[in-house]
Amino acid sequence: MYQIITGPLLWLTFAVFFGGLAWRVYTYIKGLDWKLDRVAYGYHTASGVKGAVSSILAWIVPFNSQGWKVKPIFTILFFTFHVGLVVAPLFLAGHAVVLKMRFGLNWPTIPMLAADILTVAMICAGVFIIIRRISLPEVRIITSLYDYLLLVITLAPFVTGFMVVHQMGGDTQFWLLAHVIAGEIMLLAVPFTKLFHVVGFFLSRGQLGMDYGIKRGGLTGAPMAW
């Protein structure tokens, strides 16, 4: 069973993950209308790219935008959750071994202590985010079972992985299989659910940044219908 889910099933998961992301990015960009969506890719490209980069950087650096400053606790939880979500699985030594065995890749790793700290911090932040969604009326009203399911799908690989590494829960083989399957489910969900924001965030922020960088950035005299 382990050979199957870390072999052919893992290959299939990566194919769907990367192929699905590529298709979503393509359809997103192709579907933009330069008048309706206000993205001027063909005009003042330098100003547009500068605006896109500025917009993205303003939101991926903690407290670098007004939106992060007004909710400092949520900002800390948000960045803790996402840093752990990205860094821990990408550079975990156990994952590097699988990549070496299955794909022949020599992948960098982080110390186990760092991975444990990131994992625990990410899980705790995720739990607090769930509590926040339940306790705050303004957040609860826009949260559905679908949103909770996505949080469970996101947290499951980390909880099961931590149990495997530290041999918790009794049957280590069971939790190892659960961890791999949970990780593959999360990867498969990314292109087809709200988890697409792992890439969609950069697309939408770039789109807004180009809008502000060109049309709201002081440029005049452009032969554009706006």
Distance CA 136, CA 1 (A): 43
Distance CA 205, CA 65 (A): 13
Burial bucket for residue 215 (CB in 10 Å: 0-12, 13-18, 19+):
buried
Q: Report DSSP state, residue 194.
A: G
Class of domain 2-214 (CATH, top level):
mainly alpha
- CA nearest to 34, candidates 201, 197, 207, 221: 207
Pair 78, 108: CB distance under 8 Å: no
3-state secondary structure of 22: helix
Q: How much is the pTM?
A: 0.84
- CA nearest to 139, candidates 124, 128, 152: 128
pLDDT tens track, the chain, 226 positions: 777 887 788 889 999 999 999 999 999 888 877 666 556 666 677 777 888 888 898 888 888 888 888 889 999 999 999 999 999 988 888 888 877 777 777 888 889 999 999 999 999 999 999 999 999 999 999 999 999 999 999 999 999 999 998 888 778 889 889 999 999 999 999 999 999 999 999 998 888 888 777 776 556 555 554 4
Domains of the chain: which residue ranges? 2-214
